[in-house]
A and B are shown apart, each in its own frame.
Chain A
């Protein structure tokens, strides 16, 4: 937010790095215009998207509904088809053909003058790219789960804090009425004192067996797609279905931890801490390329005595969603506007003036833009997102090792267990390293 450069300087720099001699459109990041680093309401926020697959372009579609407040100028993806899809969307919104495209995020970050970036990538890339974006002092709308490992998460959190940027996590459920209302009822004790929470996340799906090595599609930069992950040959799985492979994701469980565990934390006041003990088990496919657990069931104990069970939906009475159990009843929230309680009267309760009122946002994307202008924290700031996924990642470690894990949520270390501690990070394949903050 302190970046200073003149309009002329910006245009010259951009032109210098452009391959051709064409005239670049004169879009200037609002932060470049002075205002003490703060945007004025009339300034359009200059943005780029890194990762223009289904989720990245989906987010961009939502941002483009707010097009008067922002402007996308550049995109980056390792798949040229994804880039094309993104570019046509942006160009249509901008009424020109000027959106620039990149296959390497480093080039985009070096060449483009931006205020903010929307990032939607496979989890194994989050550590590097979120940190680099924060180090470039860009505001970030980042997809959940925000990290593949605890170590990645810790680095991202420090980068965001040190660079003092606005961070919004794609945990958009927070901006829906039923989730906020359910969480607010729970945290204000309308089900009584909450002692136990159940979080139901999706069941795992079908496998694809053990496909052979395949030719890399010409539009895909497979080496860059893998990035810091161990090199493996292309076997027909990249976009979307990376979620079922442990090198890139922890499966449905880690994918959804940033939603329903986040909501559970929100309504219980656990947003800035973590469990002290985690135990449970996962059901893994007995063979196949997809090796993430298809079922999981683990229990987290917190220092204040609260317990949170996280399991695949089929195992739980309320299936998907978050359920707070207090000594007076329960409250359940889920997608599809689900907000139910053991007694319907609970749902009619009014929250008094002096009680806890949770952060209110009606549009997750607007909230991000508003916070860029106001300097306020967004509704799902980085540490909150890190605390949500760390529950899932610690559950994954308990399932992998078959052990009860002791976690110190203040020092953020696993106690007395070298094997489990090793699973807190994944070494990066050279030349990639986790950036320093």
Chain B
């Protein structure tokens, strides 16, 4: 018997090891970089971190030869991948590579076009059909119309002029234009993006393209068009799906444009859509709103368990992110009594922990006042004698008495 238990334990351990090892099960993803007018050495590992975090993708980074290098040596086997992420703006690839990439997309491969990748290959017609819109590289009216929103109308503008521009970097408001697309479903209609280049005057064939989100290019920062410029696009090409984000200008270690939770989450969602045509990821609690920019300095989402740990140190003036994470988690579990009771026990555990700050206890009592059960009542009764949190404890007890 004992031996059997031991074997079971080993088996359980192995299962947990493999389930934790998401890389083995995710969609195989190729991030192409190696040349860019941007800091690709900073951006490409961040893109990998962002996509791998979802557990949906398993990314590898492939770098092309340096500028003027021998491009025939860059010959990826695209058929091994479900998704190709383009962080590349440089020399033309070989004809062979171009054609195998085209085949990959036509046959249903997913593509993510990231920021300056829409500057690349101005002369490659099919590539521009895949990106939908592009900038610089002598792009002008010959390459296609400007596409933008004016108020609530999508404008296709064939007037002559340059393709590609941006003013000074700044934080800006992004507006979701198509709210029922899998990528944007459930996202705020308006959200603040971290300090970034706001690409404007992009132009291109824009065939089979949807503009999911725009940002207003005001003139205050220079290069302003006073138009709502496309920021997030989807394009279909053959059987392939392309997600195009014009955002995410990289600084060393990523910087605010890439740390922006809005950039991260739209990239994660767009990448999944490019592979499957659907999005299974939940909208996280920290998706930014019009209220302000939200940065994930380590590019990952705060978990409920981390939030529970962090909140013990809460003081007035500090971030309330952990509390909002907990609130979001509770609403997410609506209807699941067993899970809610478990959360309640965890909250009470933090509440009665001596190390938990008074201010944190006050926040938790407010939450327990409505989501708690008898389990909370007995714990909170013990706290009424504590003058520092007496009001909040009485508040919670009074409310827990109602709705019975």
Contacts and interface: CB of A to CB of B under 8 A. Distances in A.
Partners in one complex: yes
Interface of A: 203-207, 209-213, 230-231, 233, 235, 281, 283-291, 294-295, 312, 314-315, 399-403, 414, 417-427, 429-430
Contacts of A419: 370-371, 403
Contacts, number: 128
B289 A204 contact: yes
A402 B282 CA distance: 14
B352 interface: no
Contacts of A425: 399, 402
A207 to B, nearest CB: 4
Contacts of B403: 414, 417-422, 424
Contact of B334 (A203, A291, A314, A402): A402
Contact of A205 (B287, B291, B331, B335): B291
B296 to A, nearest CB: 10
Central interface residue in A207, A285, A287, by most chain B CB within 10 Å: A287
B189 A314 contact: yes
Closest 4 CB pairs of A and B: A421-B403, A402-B331, A402-B334, A427-B398
B321 A286 contact: yes
Given A235-B317, A295-B289, A424-B403, 11 more contacts: A204-B289, A205-B291, A210-B319, A210-B320, A287-B321, A315-B189, A400-B370, A401-B331, A414-B403, A427-B395, A430-B391
Contacts of A420: 403
A207 B316 CA distance: 16
B316 A213 contact: yes
Contacts of A422: 369-370, 399-400, 402-403
25 contacts: A205-B290, A213-B317, A233-B316, A281-B186, A286-B289, A286-B294, A288-B320, A290-B291, A294-B289, A294-B290, A315-B179, A399-B331, A402-B334, A403-B334, A417-B403, A419-B370, A419-B403, A421-B402, A422-B370, A423-B370, A424-B403, A427-B394, A427-B395, A427-B399, A429-B395
A211 B318 CA distance: 8
A287 B288 CA distance: 10
Contact of B291 (A206, A212, A315, A424): A206
A418 B290 contact: no
A290 B332 CA distance: 21
B186 to A, nearest CB: 8
A314 B292 contact: no
A421 B371 CA distance: 10
A235 B328 CA distance: 25
Central interface residue in B285, B286, B391, by most chain A CB within 10 Å: B391
Contacts of B288: 286
Contacts of A285: 289, 291-292, 324
Contacts of A281: 186
Contacts of B392: 230
A402 B333 CA distance: 8
Nearest to B397: A427
A420 B330 CA distance: 13
Contacts of A423: 370
Contacts of B331: 399-402
Contacts of A284: 285, 289, 324, 327-328
Contacts of B334: 401-403
Contact of A286 (B179, B189, B287, B371): B287
A291 to B, nearest CB: 7
B28 interface: no
Contacts of B332: 402
B190 interface: yes
Interface string B150-187: 00000000000000000000000001000100000010
Contacts of B371: 419
Contacts of B289: 204, 283-286, 294-295
A212 B324 contact: no
Contacts of A429: 391, 395
B188 interface: yes
A254 B149 CA distance: 31
B252 interface: no
Contact of A287 (B188, B319, B333, B402): B319
Contacts of B394: 427, 430
B2 interface: no
Contacts of A209: 292
Nearest to A427: B398
A148 to B, nearest CB: 14
A376 B261 CA distance: 56
A405 B135 CA distance: 50
Contacts of B317: 210-213, 235
B3 interface: no
Contact of B290 (A206, A288, A315): A206
A224 to B, nearest CB: 16
Contacts of A314: 175, 189-190
Contacts of A430: 391, 394
Nearest to B187: A283
Contacts of A417: 403
B402 A424 contact: yes
Interface in B307-329: 316-321, 324, 327-328
B404 interface: yes
Central interface residue in B261, B291, B321, B331, by most chain A CB within 10 Å: B291
A422 B366 CA distance: 12
Given A419-B371, A427-B394, A295 B399 contact: no
A294 to B, nearest CB: 5
B373 to A, nearest CB: 9
Contacts of A286: 261, 285-289, 294, 321, 324
Contacts of A400: 327, 331, 370
Contacts of B321: 286-287
B344 to A, nearest CB: 11
B218 to A, nearest CB: 16
A210 B318 contact: yes
A312 B191 CA distance: 13
Interface string B10-50: 00000000000000000000000000000000000000000
A206 B335 contact: no
A414 B369 CA distance: 17
Nearest to B366: A230
Central interface residue in B175, B261, B321, by most chain A CB within 10 Å: B321
